[in-house]
């Protein structure tokens, strides 16, 4: 075997096997596709920040609408995702209530859509009704009805402005009203938008409210998100600590000063009589355990203050 000479084909097969079994990763496998039609896509961490931002918006809007409509209103954030403008318009019902929003001082136009299943019960409530007729309306909103809704829209935009103020001062303003999604022409069909979907419940009525913000505007705020949002999360944590402290201040805890001694069987306990003496084998100078809600926290001694007994804490017990 030592004198055997390999043929050229055998040598080629060896090199081919080495190439096939090599650990070098094919660069094509690690490459990520890039859509040149959508150069304005935003990062996932920024989408998560927008999700948190609109969770705050949903909570504030629920309170504002409850006070304005004098009815229980629940607003839940359903999704935050990036889609093309044509995909955003395709999920909207027709006809519906569409509002074009200005984004001063930034160039661009956002879209606010409120489903008819919400609009008409709200109109009924604003006109003095209960909003529980249950009749499904599938028609366009008249100009008079739109003017009645403008007061509610100002409340929505004010809460939206407050939510975005954590990142940037954006003045949301009403620029136009529309009823058909296909007639929205202020964005290119392939332009990316951040679509925010919320479910709104007013009594027995429920429907969706959708917001579409151009991704190019959100991308311009990338640096502000990185700076302002990190500061905001720190402040939110401190505020949360203060809120939790306020919640637990009125709580009542059980305090026990315990003299830990030997165990005694039930039979021996039943046989105890007046005059019997129990030996605890507990030195006088040894500190007494002090438990909070059944958990050992301090050690000290029982003392007398005035006509009352008290517990003098000597040290804090740190349990492993």
Can you give the chain as a three-state secondary structure string? CCCCCCCHHHHHHHHHHHHHCCCCCCHHHHCCCCCCCCCCCCCHHHHHHHHHHHHHHHHHHHHHHHHHHCCCEEEEEEEEEEEEHHHHHHCCCCCCEEEEEEEECCCCEEEEEECHHHHHHHHHHHCCCCCCCCCCCCCCCCHHHHHHHHHHHHHHHHHHHHHHCCCCCCEEEEEEEECCHHHCCCCCCCCEEEEEEEEEEECCEEEEEEEEEEHHHHHHCHHHHHHHHHHHHHHHHHHHHHHHHHHHCCCCCCEEEECCCCCCCHHHHHCCCCCCCCCCCCCCCCCEEEEECCEEEEEEEEEEECCEEEEEEEEECCCC
- Both 167 and 89 in one domain: the answer is yes
Please list, in sequence order, all residues whose beta carbon lies within 8 angstroms of the beta carbon of residue 242, skipping any fewer than 6 positions away.
none
pLDDT for 1: 47
- Both 156 and 235 in one domain: the answer is yes
pLDDT for 135: 65
- Both 200 and 94 in one domain: the answer is yes
Q: What is the CATH number of the domain that holds 71?
A: 3.40.1550.10
Residue 9 maps to a domain: no
- Both 302 and 212 in one domain: the answer is no
Residue 37 maps to a domain: no
Residue 170 maps to a domain: yes
Residue 270 maps to a domain: yes
Domain boundary among 192, 222, 244: 244
Q: What is the CATH number of the domain that holds 269?
A: 2.30.330.10
Q: Please, what sign has the CA dihedral across residues 218, 219, 220, 221?
A: positive
- Both 270 and 189 in one domain: the answer is no
pLDDT for 249: 87
Write out the residue range of the structural domain in which residue 301 sits.
Answer: 255-316
Structure tokens of 120? 């008409």
Q: Give the count of domains, the chain.
A: 2
Residue 300 maps to a domain: yes
- Both 280 and 300 in one domain: the answer is yes
- Both 228 and 94 in one domain: the answer is yes
Residue 20 maps to a domain: no
pLDDT for 210: 94
- Both 75 and 118 in one domain: the answer is yes
Domain boundary among 183, 213, 244: 244
What is the model's pTM?
A: 0.58
Task: Compute CA 162 distance to the chain's CA centroid, rounded to the nearest angstrom.
Answer: 16
- Both 179 and 267 in one domain: the answer is no
Rg of the Cα trace of the chain?
35
Please tell me the distance from the alpha carbon of residue 101 to that of residue 174, in angstroms, as a whole number: 5
Burial class (CB in 10 A: 0-12, 13-18, 19+), 301: middle
pLDDT for 28: 58
Residue 36 maps to a domain: no
Q: Which residues pair with 299 in a beta bridge?
A: 289, 315
pLDDT for 256: 87
- Both 283 and 168 in one domain: the answer is no
- Both 292 and 143 in one domain: the answer is no
- Both 63 and 194 in one domain: the answer is yes
Taking CA 156 as the corner, what is the angle to CA 194 and CA 115, rounded to the nearest 5 degrees? 70
pLDDT per residue rounded down to tens, the chain (320 residues): 445 666 777 777 777 776 665 555 555 555 656 555 554 567 777 888 888 889 999 999 999 998 888 888 899 999 999 888 888 888 888 888 888 999 988 888 899 999 988 888 888 888 887 766 666 777 788 888 888 888 889 999 999 999 988 888 889 998 888 888 887 777 788 888 899 999 999 888 888 999 999 888 888 887 777 665 554 555 567 777 888 888 888 888 888 887 777 778 888 888 888 888 887 777 777 888 888 888 888 888 888 888 888 888 888 887 65
Domain boundary among 192, 209, 244: 244
Residue 116 maps to a domain: yes
């Amino acid at each position: 075997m030592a004198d055997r000479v390999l043929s050229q084909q055998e040598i080629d097969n060896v090199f081919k096997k080495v190439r096939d079994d090599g650990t070098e990763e094919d660069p094509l496998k690690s490459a990520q596709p890039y859509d040149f039609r959508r150069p304005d896509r935003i990062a996932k961490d920024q989408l998560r920040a927008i999700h948190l931002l609109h969770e705050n918006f949903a909570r504030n809007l629920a309170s504002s609408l409850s006070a304005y409509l004098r009815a229980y209103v629940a607003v839940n954030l359903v999704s935050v995702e990036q889609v093309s403008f044509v995909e955003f318009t395709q999920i909207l019902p027709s006809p519906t209530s569409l509002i074009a929003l200005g984004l001063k001082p930034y160039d661009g136009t956002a879209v606010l859509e409120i489903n008819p299943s919400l609009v008409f019960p709200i109109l009924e409530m604003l006109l003095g009704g209960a909003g529980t007729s249950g009749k499904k309306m599938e028609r366009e909103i008249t100009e008079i009805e739109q003017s009645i809704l403008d007061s509610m829209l100002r409340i929505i935009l004010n809460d939206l402005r407050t939510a975005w103020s954590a990142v940037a001062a954006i003045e949301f303003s009403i620029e136009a009203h529309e009823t058909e999604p296909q007639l929205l022409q202020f964005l290119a069909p392939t332009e990316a938008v951040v679509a925010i979907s919320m479910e709104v419940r007013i009594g027995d009525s429920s429907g969706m409210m959708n917001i579409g913000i151009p991704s190019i505007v959100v991308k311009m705020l990338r640096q502000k998100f990185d700076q302002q949002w990190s500061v905001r999360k720190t402040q939110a944590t401190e505020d949360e600590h203060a809120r939790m402290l306020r919640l637990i201040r009125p709580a009542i805890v059980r305090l026990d000063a315990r003299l830990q001694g030997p165990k005694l069987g039930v039979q021996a306990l039943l046989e105890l009589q007046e005059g019997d003496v129990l030996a605890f084998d507990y030195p006088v100078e040894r500190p007494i355990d002090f438990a909070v809600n059944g958990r050992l926290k301090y050690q000290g001694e029982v003392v007398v203050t005035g006509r009352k007994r008290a517990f003098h804490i000597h040290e804090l017990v740190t349990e492993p």
